[in-house]
Amino acid sequence: MQRNFVSTLNENFFWDVDINTLDDIKNQRLIIERVLSSGDLNDVKRLFKYFGKETIKQEVVKAGFIDKKTLNWLSFYFGIPKQEFKCYSKTRSTQVHWNF
């Protein structure tokens, strides 16, 4: 497995991280999480080809945040109840619009 997968991805997936410091193995959960949430079908296909179904399955259940739509798909695809995903019980704080 070559360690340059992250360099082939859209840098916008990692807007809050220096993409040059990411390691495909050490940061695989972050990479998987971002591609599944922000990538298109081609990105997701490449992700599965690179990491493999089992690695992705192991990492997504431990992910801190996955949007609801992606979570539903992952739950169906892997046959894992949504309640078994770490992100299912965690919710982001509700964002309130500013009153001007």
Do 55 and 28 contact (CB within 8 A), yes or no?
yes
Domain map (residue ranges) of the chain: 5-89
Can you give the pLDDT of all 100 residues of the chain as single tens digits? 445 888 888 888 898 988 888 889 999 999 999 999 999 999 999 999 999 999 999 999 999 889 999 999 999 999 999 999 998 876 555 555 666 5
pTM: 0.81
